[in-house]
Amino acid sequence: MASVNLRSGESQDSLLKRFRKKVVKSGVLSTVRRKRWFVSKSETRRMEKKKAVRRIKRRQFKDVE
Q: What is the pLDDT of residues 27-50, one digit of tens each?
A: 988 889 989 999 999 999 999 999
pTM of the model: 0.54
Backbone angles phi, psi at 12, to 5 degrees: -65, -35
From the list 52, 8, 32, the residue with the least C-alpha distance to 44 is 52
Q: How many of the other CB atoms lie within 10 Å of CB of 23?
A: 16
Number of helices and strands in the chain (H, E) = 3, 0
Q: What is the pLDDT of residues 2-16, one digit of tens each?
A: 889 999 999 999 999
